Structure formats: structure tokens, C-alpha cells
Amino acid sequence: MESSLLGSAVTPNVGLFGANSNFVGLQCGPKRQRVVALDLPNLQLQGTISPSLANLSYLSVLNLENNSFHGGIPYGLGHLPRLQVIDIKNNQLNGSIPTSLFQNQRVQVVSLAFNELSGEMWKGPWYVPELKVLNLRNNSLMGIIPPSVRNATKLMNFSLSGNRVSGNIPKEIGNLSQLAFLYLFDNQLTGFIPVTLFNISSLLALSLGINSLSGPLLLDERNTMSNLKLLDISYNQISGCIPSNICQLTELKALSMSFNSITGDIPKNIGCLSKLEEFYIGYNPIKGTIPISLGNISTLQVIFNISSLEVIDFSFNNLSGRIPATIDTGARIDAAMAVEYLHHGHVTPIVHCDLKPGNVLLDEDMVAHVGDFGISKILAFSKSMAYTETLGTLGYIAPEYGSEGIVSTSGDVYSYGIMLMEVLTKRRPTDDEICNENLDLRKWITQSFSGSMMDVVDANLFSEEEQITCKSEMCIAPMIELGLDCTKEMPESRITMTDVVKRLNKIKNAFLEM
């Protein structure tokens, strides 16, 4: 029986099956011993799927995912009267999708992703009243998405990504009131994004990137898409401005608009997206200034309240003005945590020996990474210092490093303190006004301070629109004090990188509470 049903697929794996119907992966009904399920995933099965499977009139589940089946999908499978699940993803199937699958009244899951299927999607009327999952991603399907998709009224997950589907996105998709995931990225779709999509209250993810969609992004004023967490329209030809009512998407965690033709300003109310974690807007001809409050991107108390933002990408725009200096607070903490891990994350500490701004790099996600370990030292067990003849960078190395060749974790703390003060003062430790007076950056700060932090702090940390207030100084003063504590002359008097991380986080939290 098995050989006739599975055809050549069973030939190289005949040992998996016994002489009766109780072999692994086959489930029969309790009364008449009719086959109700074939569950054979991840078994390295090969060959073709036999048309004889269409004779299993009681079959409700067919799961052959992650094997090596080739050939076409038997047309008769769509006519199985009790079929609920057909999962044949991640094989090597080719040919077209049987139109009968779009006429099956009981099927709930159709998963044919990651195959080599081609041809057009069924343009005729869909009659799949129970269909909940339609996963066709990463094939070579062509044609259009037919308006009759509206008949799949229970559809929750529709994935067509990674195909060659063209035409418009049918507005009828907006009638799918239970749809939670719509993935149409990496196709050849054209036309406008239907406003009706933004009225699906159940939608969690809308991914339309890498197409040829055009026109403005329009959100209906009656928008009910309050649960949306992902919106991706990147790599299209979207024009116009970012709609101001985007703030209605209060649950949004990821917003990707890169590589379009979006113009205008960044909406001032975009900060109301309080759960936003990723914001990509690069490669657009956006003009205007970056909102000042983006510098307070992690605060909970300001009007631009984006408390959990992790990634901001403003690359390749026409934006003017400066990025608020407070936006790099996270980078300073990232670098401190990296050095703390080197010092305290191993039984044998690692001393970097050459911490300086050029060795702290921001990646595309604005996360700081410490690099260039060319002269770093691993301290022997139970040793707190070592000696070296290779100097780090003048101005950043600790006094004991340059004079005696002593390297220790305290030396890295000193270098970090210099970097911190350089950011706050906009003065390098090698600037003429410092070197000509035979000073270091620490001594320059202590000598220049005459009662106000603004005596030493870079005035450009505050924009013209911001007033320098007591609160401003209360934020900056602990940072200067931290830099001074890191750069004390005696190594044993300096704090540890663990202390640095704790104090930076404390400063950040105190700032958020103002």
C-alpha cells in the first residue's frame, strides 16, 4: 500500500515503514483504519509525490516539509474532501499550484514555501472559507494577486514574499478582518498602497518592501490598525510626506521607509510611537531638521517619547542641522560595557591598551564597538598589571603607561575618561591650547572651570532652541565628574569600569526622570 501511495518517494527509505499501516508518520482513524494523516517531515525523503495520494479520501493532514521531493504537486490533492493541512515547504517541487487547492472548502493551512513553483496564481474565484494560512514565499510565482482573495475570510497569515508577482495590491485584502501577517516583500508589485490595509485592526505585520509601489503613504483618518508592530515599505518608489497621523500606530516596534522618494519633514509627533525599537528612513530626499527631541530618544518624560528606541538610520538624506549630542549617550554606555567585559568578563582580564575615539566604532545600527586589539594584553592569573614596550596613543594613555610601560585595567579606565571628557568639551588631549601649556585634558578642565559647567562644556551640545538651565548642568556635571574620577593620577585611586557602567546608567536614569 505504502509504495503505491507515495510512489518513488518511498523507494530509498523503505526501511522506515513496516508491513502494515502502523509505520512511523502514518496515522489511521480509530474505527475503519483509514489514513487520516501523513506526517513525514525532516526525513530526507526523495522522489516525486504520487498522484495516488488523492485516493486517501479521509486524509486531513499531509506534512512532507523539509525533504527533497521534486516534480509537481498532484492536482487531485486539492480535491481531498477532508484535507485541512498541506505542508510541503522546503522541498524542490516545480510546476504550478493546483487550482483545486483554491477551491477546497475545508483546507486551513497551505504551506508551499521554499520550492521552485512557477506559473501564475489562480485568477478564478477562490472558495476557501476555512483557509487561515497561505504561505507561498520564496518560489517563482508570477501573475497577480486576484481580488477573489477576499473570499478567504478567515485568512490570518498570507505570505507571498520572494516571488515575481506583479500588478496592484488588491484593495479587497482590506476586507480580511482576521488577517494578522501580510508579507508581500520582494516581488514586482506596482501601484499605490491601498488605504484599506490600514483598517485591518488585527494586522500585526505589514511587509511590502522591495517592490515598485508608488504614490504617497496614506493612512485613513479612521485608521483602526492600532495593533500593528511592523511596517516595512522600504525599497519602493513611495513619494510624498510621512503622514502626521502615523502616531495612530501606537504599538509599532519597527518602521522601515528607506530607499524611497519620501520628502518633507520628519513629523514632530513621531515621538508618540513609544514602543518603537527600529526606525529606518535612509536614502530619502527628506529635508528640514532632525527634531531636537530625538536626542532624548530614550526618555519617557518628553513629548517625543520613544522610550525603547534601539536603531535610528538617517543616512543619505538632505537633512540639515545637527544630530543632538545627547543621542550618543547609548554609544558611550555601549563602549563602557564592552571594556567592562574585557576587564571582568574573563578569569584572565584583557587590557586594551589603546582606547581612543578612533577605536570605538559605530555600526549601521548605531551600536558602539571597541576595535583594534593590536597591542592589547592578557593579564596573567592573579596579576593586576603587566609591562609593555609598545605605546598606545599619546594623550589617551595613562601616565604610568608612558613613563614606566605599566599596563593595567586602570590604564583603560584612564583612556575611557579622556574620551568621555573629549566628547563633552570638544577638545582633543593633543590640541595646541592644551599641549602648549603642558597640560592634559583633566588639568585643562580643572583650571578652566570657574563656577559654571559652560566654562568647559562644548556650547554646541545645546542647540539654539534649547535654554541652558540648571537641569542642563545637572545632566552634564555628573558626566564631567565621572571623567575626572576615571583620570586620577594614581592608578589605585581610579574607579573600575564596573563603576563607570553603573554611574552612566544612573546618570541616564536621573536624566529621564527630570
Q: Is residue 101 within 8 Å of 125, Cβ to Cβ? A: no
Q: How far is CA 127 from CA 60, 82, 87, 184, in A?
A: 18, 15, 19, 21
Give yes or no on whether 206-323 and 329-512 have one common fold: no
Instruction: Choose between 183 and 487: higher pLDDT.
Output: 183
Mean pLDDT of the residues in the chain: 76
Q: Find the mean pLDDT for residues 449-475.
A: 62
Per-residue confidence (pLDDT) for residue 391, from 0 to 100: 55
Position 172 scores a pLDDT of: 94
Q: Which residues are catalytic?
A: 354
Superfamily of the domain at 1-167? Ribonuclease Inhibitor (3.80.10.10)
Give the model confidence (pLDDT) of 256-309 as tens digits: 898 899 988 878 777 777 777 777 887 888 776 555 444 433 322 222 334 444
Q: In CATH, what is the architecture of 206-323?
A: Alpha-Beta Horseshoe (3.80)
The pLDDT of residue 118: 94
Q: Is 386 exposed, middle or buried (0-12, 13-18, 19+ CB in 10 A)?
A: middle
Residue 318 has pLDDT above 90, yes or no: no
- Taking the C-alpha atoms of residue 384 and residue 491, their distance in angstroms, rounded to an integer, is 11
For residue 111, what are the contacts with CB-CB under 8 A and spacing of at least 6? 65, 86, 87, 88, 89, 133, 135
Give residue 321's pLDDT. 54
pTM of the entire predicted model: 0.61
pLDDT of residue 403: 52
Looking at the chain, how many residues does it have? 514
- Here the cell at position 76 is 487531485
What are the structural domain ranges in the chain? 1-167, 206-323, 329-512
pLDDT at 329: 47
Would you state the CATH architecture of domain 329-512?
Orthogonal Bundle (1.10)
| pLDDT over 60 (residue 198) | yes
> Directed axis angle between helix 497-512 and helix 329-344, to 10°?
150
